[in-house]
């Protein structure tokens, strides 16, 4: 028996386990969490490229529409799945009550934040990579990126931002309904209207201006720059804005976690 | 020696409800301590403050000397909590659940102890079963395992046997007793007063966010328990009529406050020349003590409450 001796505190905290648990959680239902979003993106590609390939000109004709569309779909999948993973994991734990297993151990707010966000990023990037690989079958030339590091930087930052938003939404929400509302009324419109399916230069002036207030626009535009070396906005400007948003949201999430906002009462 | 649990002037309000209204409590290391009280008395709030799930509005709570807010890492390492709700993570098997919980405490190679826990909780054959497939009693045992996975010196069980069948209850208590024998401090809340009576050395009774009685189980029983005397005799001496709760012909039921009163009753019977045909004395139990304390404290003011707090 245990003879009253607690284990000595190990140097490594609980972060690694929480991170692994977050990955294991979606991996165990990977058909739903990875395969089905990949299929969704593929359907968008088939439909939109079929209808629009010969009618839409982007970047002054330097890039065909289908080529243009694919990075948008990859990034959209990264963003949506990062958000979905963090938010649904947290709300499920809150509603079923098993969040207590994470609240009782000596996990710091930073452990908590890093594990949820990195776990969600792994899912977002996995889905994005899946979409990219499948779409390469249609556009093999895309395998060679103009600036792969730019693409990676935007994918990771965008994924981190959406994962953080998902974490905040998961903390804020008390019901699945509220997560769905957040997703359908905020995340979906912002991604769809961010230039996934079109270049904002094809929009009337008013909508072009408005698009510049959509933070998702910079993520997708910068990510696309990584593929073609072409973008609507200078990529350094996009990167600065996206990085700033990531830092601010991380600070907000960490503050809420330290206060135990809607987690500890 | 540092107290296992130390609570000083802890108060917490939820909206208009004063869940805890200034609680002081010390539990020594190695104690088997009971926390009793009706629903809404504040037991779970108090435990939740110790576990860091709820924050106190004021006051201090420490586990093995570690403040639950400022030194939460050490405080949480020292504490194992079996929650009241039957919660589980449906994604994982029993072994995964225990491994993950262990990892949260920074213990990554803990399989020997996990195997031992599975054995003691009679879960070895279910180690690879998904949590969803387990019966309520088995899920409860996994919760106990999760609370013990980091070998906490202080173990809190919040109504652990609610809805659990008798056989499991017995084996669970045998296990918890052994942990206590090994030096672990046990704090138990329960609705089953006979359980508290059988297990706990010392008991705090709570009502409306306050501790209204705190003493050893034995002393609470002798102070607040009562005796029922079943007396077969032609009549009851006049002076003792006030104690009679029921008459069934020549069988009379009397309620006494303590064994000491029996002597007076016997003396009165002898003086009045009443022959005793038969006499049975039914002992005191914690339930009676509990009911009397709860009823009594309803009308006592703070001074009155202090009178039943010999250690406060």
Convert the pLDDT of each residue in A208-259 to its tens digit.
888 888 889 999 999 999 999 988 889 999 999 999 999 999 999 999 999 9
Which of B53, B100, B182 is nearest residue A264 as measured by Cβ atoms? B53
Query: Can you tell me the distance from the alpha carbon of B233 to that of B236, in angstroms, rounded to the nearest whole number?
Result: 7
Q: For residue B298, is it within any domain?
A: no
What's residue B303's pLDDT?
33
Note the pLDDT of residue B311. Answer: 35
**Which residues 168-187 in chain A show a CB within 8 A of chain B?**
none
The Cα of B205 is separated from the nearest Cα of chain A by a number of Å equal to 24
Instruction: Kindly report the nearest CA distance between residue A61 and chain B, in angstroms.
Output: 49
Q: Is A107 in contact with B104 (Cβ distance < 8 A)?
A: yes
Domains of chain B: total: 2
**Contact check, Cβ <8 Å, B73/A108:** yes
Q: Is position A1 within any domain? A: no
The CA distance from A180 to the nearest CA of chain B, in Å, is 21
Residues B110 and B234 in one domain: no
The pLDDT, as a whole number, for residue B290 is: 75
The residue among B247, B248, B265 whose CA lies nearest residue B256 is: B265
Q: pLDDT value at position A90? A: 95
- B300 — pLDDT class (breaks 50, 70, 90): very low
Report how far residue B42's alpha carbon sits from residue B37's, in angstroms, rounded to the nearest whole number. 8
Higher pLDDT pick, A256 / B295: A256
Cβ-based contacts of A98 with chain B (< 8 Å): 87-89
Confidence of residue A174 (pLDDT cuts 50, 70, 90): very high
Please indicate if any CB of chain B lies within 8 Å of the CB of A105: yes
pLDDT of residue B297: 53
**Burial tier of B92 (Cβ tally within 10 Å: 0-12, 13-18, 19+):** buried
Residue B18, judged by CB atoms within 10 A of its CB (0-12, 13-18, 19+), counts as middle
Res. B221 pLDDT band, cuts 50 70 90 = confident
Q: Which of A235, B211, B48 is nearest to B203 (CA)?
A: B211
Q: What is the mean pLDDT of chain B?
A: 85
Tell me the count of A-B CB pairs closer than 8 A: 118
Q: What percent of chain A has pLDDT over 90?
A: 62
Burial B54-91 (b: 16+ CB within 10 A, else e): bebeebebbbbebebeebbbbbbbbbbbbbbeebbbeb
Which residues 6+ apart lie within 8 Å of A35 measured at CB? Answer: A130
Opening angle at CA A66, ends A60 and A67, nearest 5:
70
DSSP bridge pairs for B247:
B252
Q: What pLDDT does B93 receive?
A: 94
**What is the DSSP pairing of strand B185-189 with strand B154-158?**
parallel
Give the residue, A256 or B198, on which the prediction is more confident: A256
Flag whether the pTM goes above 0.90.
no
Angle between helices B136-148 and B94-104 (to 10 degrees): 30
| Inter-chain touch B73–A98, beta carbons under 8 Å | no
| Residue scoring higher pLDDT (B241 or A247) | A247
For residue A5, pLDDT over 70 is answered with no
Please state, for a pLDDT cut of 90, what percent of chain B lies above it: 44
Q: What is the pLDDT of residue B225?
A: 64
Q: How confident is the model at residue A10 (pLDDT cuts 50, 70, 90)?
A: low
**Inter-chain contact B76–A260, Cβ cutoff 8 Å?**
no
B290 is a domain residue: no
Cβ-based neighbours of A226, under 8 Å, separated by 6 or more? A71, A145, A146, A147, A148, A149, A150, A151, A152, A153, A154, A235
Choosing from B182, B198, B221, the residue where a domain stops is B221
CB atoms within 10 A of CB A251: 11
Mean pLDDT of B9-23: 91
Say how far apart CA B56 and CA B68 lie, in whole Å. 10
Select the residue of A14, A28, A97 nearest B106 (Cβ to Cβ). A14
Residue B63: is its pLDDT beyond 90? Answer: yes
Same domain, B215 and B261: no
Residues B201, B252, single domain; the answer is no
% of chain A exceeding 70 in pLDDT: 95
Out of B77, B85, B153, whose CB is closest to A9?
B77
pLDDT: is A148 or A205 the higher one?
A148
Please state, in angstroms and as integers, the Cα–Cα distance from residue A228 to each residue in A56, A68, A115, B9, following that order: 17, 9, 33, 66
CB distance from A10 to chain B under 8 Å?
yes
Which stretch of A47-61, A123-137, B10-24, B110-124 has the lowest confidence by average pLDDT?
A47-61
Question: Could you tell me if A201 and A232 are in contact, meaning their C-beta atoms sit under 8 angstroms apart?
Answer: yes
Specify whether the CB–CB gap between B213 and B224 falls below 8 A: yes
Beta-carbon separation of A2 and B106 below 8 A: no
Mutation pick from B104, B109, B139 vs chain A, by most beta carbons of A within 10 Å, is B104
* Domain assignment of residue A196, yes or no: yes
Give me the residue from A4, A17, A97 closest to B103, CB to CB: A17
Cα–Cα nearest to A75, from A168, A153, A20, A14? A153
A20 CB near a chain B CB, below 8 Å? yes
Q: How confident is the model at residue B301 (pLDDT cuts 50, 70, 90)?
A: very low
The pairs formed by B1-4 with CB atoms below 8 angstroms and a separation of 24 or more are B1/B28, B1/B29, B2/B29, B2/B64, B2/B65, B3/B27, B3/B28, B3/B29, B3/B62, B3/B64, B3/B65, B4/B28, B4/B29, B4/B30, B4/B31, B4/B63, B4/B64, B4/B153, B4/B154, B4/B185, B4/B187
Distance from CA of B101 to the nearest CA of A (A): 7
**pLDDT at residue B307 greater than cutoff 50:** no
Kindly list the residues from chain B whose CB atom is less than 8 angstroms away from the CB atom of residue A20. Answer: 100, 103
ipTM above 0.90, yes or no: no
Return the CATH number at B190.
Answer: 3.40.50.300
- Give the pLDDT confidence score for residue A56 in this predicted structure: 76
Calculate how close chain A gets to B90, using CA atoms only, in Å.
9
Q: Could B105 and A7 be called an inter-chain contact, meaning their C-beta atoms sit closer than 8 Å?
A: yes
- What's the length of chain A? 265
Question: Which domain range does residue B245 map to?
Answer: 226-282
Residue A234 lies in domain: 15-259
Domain count, chain A: 1
For the range A227-231, what are the long-range contacts, defined as Cβ-Cβ under 8 Å and sequence gap of 24 or more? A227/A67, A227/A70, A227/A71, A227/A142, A227/A145, A227/A146, A227/A151, A228/A59, A228/A62, A228/A63, A228/A67, A228/A68, A228/A71, A228/A146, A229/A146, A229/A147, A230/A59, A230/A62, A230/A63
Q: How far apart are CA A179 and CA B20, in angstroms?
A: 33
pLDDT at B163: 67
Q: Is the dihedral of CA A176, A180, A181, A183 positive or negative?
A: positive
Residue B11, in any domain of the structure: yes
Q: Which of B182, B201, B221 is the last residue of a domain?
A: B221
Residue at A2 is within a domain: no
Residue A166 near residue A249 (C-beta atoms within 8 A) = no
Residues B28 and B148 in one domain: yes
Q: What is the pLDDT of residue B78?
A: 94
- Quick one: pLDDT at residue B302? 38
- B309 domain residue, yes or no: no
Structural domain contains residue B306: no
Candidates B275, B258, B122; CA nearest to B266 is: B275
Q: Are strands B79-82 and B154-158 parallel, antiparallel or unpaired?
A: parallel
Confidence of residue B185 (pLDDT cuts 50, 70, 90): very high
Q: Residue A263: name the closest of A88, A26, A102 by CA.
A: A102
- Residue B91 to residue A24, Cβ atoms within 8 A: yes
Compute the Cα dihedral for B124, A21, B130, B170 and give only its sign. positive
Q: How far is A88 from chain B (nearest CA, A)?
A: 13
Give the distance from residue A120's alpha carbon to the nearest chain B alpha carbon, in angstroms. Answer: 16
Residue identified by tokens 């009280």 is B37
- Residue carrying the six token digits 């069988």: B251
Q: Residue B300 domain-assigned?
A: no
pLDDT digits (tens, 9 = 90+) for B256-289: 877 778 888 899 999 988 888 888 887 766 776 7
Q: What chain B residue is nearest to A17 in terms of C-alpha separation?
A: B103
State the number of CA atoms in the 13 A half-sphere of A53 facing the CB: 11
- Find the mean pLDDT for residues A169-187: 92
CA distance B284 to chain A (A): 34
Same domain, B90 and B209: yes
Burial of A61 (0-12, 13-18, 19+ CB in 10 A): exposed
B86, B99, B10: which is closest to B55 by C-alpha?
Answer: B10
Q: Which residue in chain B is spatially nearest to A26 when comparing CA positions?
A: B91
The verdict on B140 and B210 lying in the same domain is yes
If you average pLDDT over residues A104-127, what whole number do you get? 96
Share of chain B above pLDDT 70, in %: 92
What's the CA gap between B3 and B185, in Å, rounded? 10
Nearest to B77 among A6, A17, A108 (CB): A6
pLDDT reported for residue B5: 94
> Averaged over B61-80, what is the pLDDT?
94
A264 and B54 in contact by Cβ < 8 A?
yes
- Tell me if A205 is assigned to some domain: yes
Is A265 among the domain residues?
A: no
Q: Are B228 and B257 in contact (CB under 8 A)?
A: no
């Amino acid at each position: 028996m245990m003879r009253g001796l607690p284990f000595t505190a190990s140097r490594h905290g609980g972060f690694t386990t929480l991170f692994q648990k977050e990955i294991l959680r979606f991996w165990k239902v990977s058909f739903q969490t990875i395969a089905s979003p990949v299929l969704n993106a593929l359907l968008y590609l088939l439909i939109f490229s079929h209808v629009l390939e010969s009618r839409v000109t982007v970047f002054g004709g330097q890039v065909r529409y289908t080529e243009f569309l694919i990075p948008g779909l990859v990034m959209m999948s990264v963003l949506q799945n990062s958000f979905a993973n963090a938010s649904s994991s947290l709300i499920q734990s809150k509603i079923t009550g098993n969040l207590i297993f994470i609240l009782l151990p000596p996990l710091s707010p930073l452990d908590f934040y890093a594990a949820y966000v990195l776990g969600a990023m792994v899912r977002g990037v996995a889905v994005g990579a899946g979409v990219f690989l499948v779409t390469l079958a249609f556009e093999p030339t895309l395998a060679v990126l103009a600036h792969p590091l730019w693409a990676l930087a935007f994918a990771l930052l965008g994924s981190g931002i959406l994962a953080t938003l998902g974490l905040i939404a998961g903390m804020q929400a008390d019901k699945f309904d509220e997560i769905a509302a957040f997703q359908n009324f905020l995340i979906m419109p912002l991604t769809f209207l961010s230039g996934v399916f079109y270049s904002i230069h094809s929009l009337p002036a008013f909508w072009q201006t408005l698009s510049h207030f959509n933070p998702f626009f910079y993520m997708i535009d910068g990510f696309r720059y990584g593929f073609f070396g072409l973008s609507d906005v200078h990529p350094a400007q996009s990167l600065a804005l996206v990085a700033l948003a990531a830092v601010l949201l991380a600070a907000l999430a960490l503050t809420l976690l330290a206060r135990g906002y809607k987690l500890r009462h | 020696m540092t107290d296992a649990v130390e609570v000083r002037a802890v108060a917490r309000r939820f909206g208009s409800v004063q869940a805890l209204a200034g609680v002081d409590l010390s539990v020594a290391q190695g104690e088997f301590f009971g926390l009793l009280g009706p629903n809404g008395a504040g037991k779970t709030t108090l435990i939740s403050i110790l576990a860091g799930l709820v924050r106190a509005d004021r006051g201090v709570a420490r586990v093995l000397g570690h403040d639950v807010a400022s030194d939460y890492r050490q405080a949480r390492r020292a504490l194992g909590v079996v929650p009241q709700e039957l919660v589980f993570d449906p994604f994982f098997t029993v072994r995964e659940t225990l491994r993950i919980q262990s990892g949260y405490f920074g213990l990554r190679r803990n399989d020997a102890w996990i195997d031992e826990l599975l054995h003691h909780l009679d879960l070895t054959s279910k180690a690879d079963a998904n949590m969803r497939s387990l019966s309520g009693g088995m899920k409860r045992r996994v919760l106990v395992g999760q609370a013990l996975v980091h070998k906490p010196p202080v173990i809190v069980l919040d109504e652990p046997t609610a809805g659990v069948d008798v056989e499991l209850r017995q084996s669970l208590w045998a296990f918890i007793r052994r942990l206590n024998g090994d030096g672990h401090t046990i704090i138990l809340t329960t609705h089953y007063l006979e359980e508290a009576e059988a297990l706990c050395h010392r008991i705090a009774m709570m009502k409306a966010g306050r501790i209204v009685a705190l003493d050893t189980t034995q002393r609470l029983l002798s102070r607040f328990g009562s005796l029922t005397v079943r007396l077969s005799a032609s009549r009851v001496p006049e002076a003792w009529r006030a104690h009679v709760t029921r008459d069934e012909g020549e069988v009379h039921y009397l309620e006494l406050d303590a064994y000491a009163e029996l002597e007076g009753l016997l003396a009165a019977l002898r003086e009045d020349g009443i022959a005793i045909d038969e006499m049975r004395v039914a002992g005191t139990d914690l339930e009676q003590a509990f009911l009397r304390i709860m009823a009594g404290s309803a009308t006592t003011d703070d001074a009155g409450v202090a009178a039943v707090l010999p250690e406060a």
